Structure 1
Amino acid sequence: MELHHAIEPLGDMVSLIGSRNFGAGFYRIANDLIGIDHCTVFMCANDTPRTLVAEANCQKTSERVRSLADIYIREAYRSDPVWGTFDNAPRSDCAAFLLSPTELVDERYRREFYDKPNIKHEIALTTIINGDRIYAGFYRENGRPDFSGKSVEILKQCGRAIMQVLHKHAEISILTGTALGESKPITQKALLERVRSAILADNGQLTAREAEICASIVLGYTVLGISMNLGISINTVATHRKRAYAKLRVCSQNELFARYFSVVENNLGAARPN
C-alpha cells in the first residue's frame, strides 16, 4: 500500500476511539495497511502494563493471543528485549523496526511468545506519550513472507498518528469501562477456551484434548461432567488426565489449579453462564 492510501484507514481508526469494537477494528485496519496475522498493543503507565489490543486472524487464535497477553503483562514483559528499549525511546517521534525471533537470545521467551504461536516476523512500534509507554507489535506467521521495508516505512510515517489514537482510546476506555476484557461478559465456553489456550501455551506437548480436559478440571468440572460434556467415557477422561498430569508434572487437581489460577482470576469475574 502506498503511503497516501493510508490516510483513509487512519481516519477509520480515529472513528473507533472509545468503541467496544476498537481491538477488532484496529486489527482489520492494520491488516489492510501492511498485512498481518496477529497484533498486540500494550501501554505502561506508572510502571503498570496493561493490554489495549490483542487480536488475530480468527477467533480461536485471538483467544490464544489474549491468553499470552495476560501472561505477558503479569511478568514476561520484563524479558522482552523490545520493552527494554522504552528507556531510550523517542519522546516526540515513533520508532519502528523489524524483529525476527531468531535474533532473540532468551530461548524460553522466544519459545513461549514466538515459536509456539507460530510467529515468524514482527514489526515493533514504540513511543512514549505523556509519560506513558506504548508498544504495538504486528506479526506474521510462518508460511508468509517477511515484512518488507515498505511496510516499515508506512508505519514510521503513520506511527505517531497511530500511537496518538491508541493513547486516546486508552484514556477514554478507562473512563467508560471499554478496555480490553471489559467490553462484555465472557461465556463459560470462552473462559474454558482461554484456560485451555494458556495451558497449551505453557506446554506444547499436550494434545488439544488433554488441554481441554485440564482446563475443565481447573474450572471445577468433575470427571463425570467432563465425560458428559465431551461425549467420551469416564475411563477415557481419566486416561487423558493421567497423561496430561505427567506432561505438566503435577500430581493433583489442586496443583493444576494453583498453576493456572491467575488465568481464571483474570477472567472469572466477567464470566456468565451460556
Structure 2
Amino acid sequence: MEETMEGPGESDIAPAVLAIGRPVFPQALIDTLRRIAGVDHCMVFTFADERTARCLLDIGNIPIGPDLGAAYSSHFHLADPNRDVIFRERASVSPIVLPTFARRMYSARYAKIFFEDADIVDKFATAIWVEHTCFYANFYRTISQGRFNSEQVARLNRIAPGVGATVARHFQAQIAPDHNPFHKLELLFSTIAPLTHLTGREREVCLRILSGFSSEAISADLAISLQSTLTYRKRAYRKLGIASQNELFAIALRLLTSLHGLN
C-alpha cells in the first residue's frame, strides 16, 4: 500500500528557508523534506568543474553516509550518470530536476556501493548552477521505507526549485574564499572525519559548544531538553574519543589549520 502524506502545504519549505546561514539548517532541511515527501536521507554535493566534487551535507538515517560522501567526492562522481546532465545544463539559470532514478543507469560497482550497501532503494535529485558553481542535492529512501510513491514524487518536483535555491543560498557562504570561521566549522562537520561520524543533533550540539554556548543555551536554541543536550554531547565525545570541551576545541583547531593549509 502506498503511503499518504498529510500535513502542511506541499510547497511549505519555510522552515528550511528561515534556517539559511544557521547551524540548524541541516536539521531544518531534512525535517522539511521528511514532512513533505518522506525523505529518509539527504546529501548535497558541489561541482566547480568536471573533475572535482565536494560533499557539503550528509544528514539522515543512513549510517554509512559519511563514507559514501567521501567515496563520491574522491572519484565516484565521475561515474554518476546525472553528472553528464548537470554539466550539459550548465548554462541554465533554473534548477535542474534530474532523471527519475533507475538502477540500470548505474554500473554494477557504483550500484553496490551507493545503493545496495547503503540499503538505498530510491532517490530524487535536483541541481542548480550559481555562476560557476553547481549545488547538487540528493534525497534518498531506504529499504525500510520503500520507494517514493507517485504523490511524493509530485511533491518533490514541485518543491525542487525552492529547495535547490535554498541549499545554494545556505552553502554559498561556506565555499566562498572569505567565509567566516563559523562557516568553516560547519564545513568541517559536514566533510571531514571524525566529525562526519556524528549525527545531525550531535553536530549541532558540538557546533554550539565551539561557538561558546552553555548547555542551557544549547537546549534553548535547539528546543530540546537539557538532558537531551547532555546526552548528545556525551555521545559525540565518545565517538570523537575525547572527554572534555578543551579536547573538542583542539580537534577543531587542528582541522581548521589543516583546512586553511589546503586553501
TM-score higher than 0.5 = yes
3-state SS in 2 of match to 1:42: strand
Give distance in 2, aligned partners of 1:191 and 1:133: 22
Percent of paired sites with the same residue = 21
The answer as to 2:32 corresponding to 1:70 is no
Letter of the aligned partner of 1:82 in structure 2? N
With over 3 angstroms needed to count, the CA separation of the structure-2 counterparts of 1:2 and 1:84, relative to structure 1, is: farther
1:124 Cα offset (Å): 1.6
1:155 Cα offset (Å): 2.1
C-alpha RMSD of the superposition: 3.5
Letter of the aligned partner of 2:37 in structure 1? I
2:30 maps to 27
1:111 Cα offset (Å): 0.7
Paired residue total = 194
Write the deviation string for residues 199-257 of structure 1: whole angstroms up to 9, x where unpaired: xxxxxxxxxxxxxxxxxxxx9xxxxxxxxxxxxxxxxxxxxxxxxxxxxxxxxxxxxxx
Q: Which runs of 5+ in 1 are unaligned?
A: 195-218, 220-267
2:230 maps to none
1:11 maps to 14
State whether residues 27 and 39 of structure 1, in contact with CA within 8 Å, keep that contact through their aligned partners in structure 2.
Answer: yes
Q: How does 1:139-150 map to 2 (within 5 A)?
A: 139-150=140-151
With over 3 angstroms needed to count, the CA separation of the structure-2 counterparts of 1:171 and 1:93, relative to structure 1, is: closer
The answer as to 2:188 corresponding to 1:182 is yes
Q: Which runs of 5+ in 2 are unaligned?
A: 200-239, 241-253, 257-263
Give distance in 1, aligned partners of 2:32 and 2:17: 11
Letter of the aligned partner of 1:269 in structure 2? L
With over 3 angstroms needed to count, the CA separation of the structure-2 counterparts of 1:93 and 1:192, relative to structure 1, is: closer
Q: How does 1:162-241 map to 2 (within 5 A)?
A: 162-174=163-175, 175-176=179-180, 177-178=182-183, 180-183=186-189
State whether residues 98 and 121 of structure 1, in contact with CA within 8 Å, keep that contact through their aligned partners in structure 2.
Answer: no
Give distance in 1, aligned partners of 2:196 and 2:59: 16
TM-score by length of 2: 0.63
With over 3 angstroms needed to count, the CA separation of the structure-2 counterparts of 1:170 and 1:181, relative to structure 1, is: closer
1:252 maps to none
Q: Which has the larger radius of gyration?
A: 1
Give distance in 2, aligned partners of 1:52 and 1:137: 12
TM-score by length of 1: 0.60
1:153 Cα offset (Å): 2.2
1:208 maps to none
1:100 maps to 102
1:126 Cα offset (Å): 2.4
State whether residues 42 and 52 of structure 1, in contact with CA within 8 Å, keep that contact through their aligned partners in structure 2.
Answer: yes
Deviates more, 1:41-50 or 1:134-143: 41-50
2:159 maps to 158
1:139 Cα offset (Å): 0.9
